[in-house]
Structure 1
């Protein structure tokens, strides 16, 4: 099994491998395995994914500089693209409470019109919002 974390010049190197998942729940499993090694907590939402990127638990601390390589990112872009995102929004709309159905419908409408973000885009935005993480799409 390949190592998913290492140190290089005081920068922690972390690898997400797109071959290890093909949908959002499997992405969460990969993120849990890579970021939360030896911690009894699993990522299960976009907010949860954002939370682990702050560090302080799992494989890095809050101030650590991270180089995150997303291998097979083009595969992930397709796997977490338009169709997966549409299904994601439609499930939330169908479930209703506690979700903001109006906002989710707006996001779905934007997605269908070609102006909205896919799940892949959302994950990239979440990662890039953490200034201590340098993302490399491979």
Structure 2
């Protein structure tokens, strides 16, 4: 039996809100389902609230609002917060991504989240 997790896109007002909304969708109010991109990818692999057989769907409703909230502005904010924590060998790449985001170009957080779901749980994402 397929389990459906609903992300109410209007509640995704930024990356922190996405973590809260996703955690509640999978594990109930106050639940967690990762608090960074790597942890999110790990959670999608199973054992963190999703069925062991991987038979689930993530239905991202009103995803266009989330796409806006997780767009270039939020991506730039996130990249700025990462800049001081990344290994020095990765700083130039993060600076480049930040410059792109500040110019309104490049992959957004929304794009990254969608890519992670598609990679870790192929076919599980429904954007509605």
Say whether the 8 Å CA contact 2:2–2:56 is kept in structure 1.
yes
Decide whether aligned partners of structure 1 residues 65 and 132 sit closer, same or farther in structure 2, where only a CA change above 3 A counts: farther
Richer in strand (by share):
1
Cα shift at 1:123: 0.5
Structure 2, gaps ≥5 residues long: none
Richer in helix (by share):
2
Distance 1:38 1:19 in 2: 17
Distance 1:129 1:112 in 2: 27
Residue 34 of structure 2: aligned partner: 43
Distance 2:119 2:70 in 1: 19
Total equivalences in the alignment: 126
Say whether the 8 Å CA contact 1:11–1:67 is kept in structure 2.
yes
The C-alpha deviation readout for 1:41-100, integer Å capped at 9, x for no partner, is: 552111111111111231422x3222211011000010000111111112222xx13453
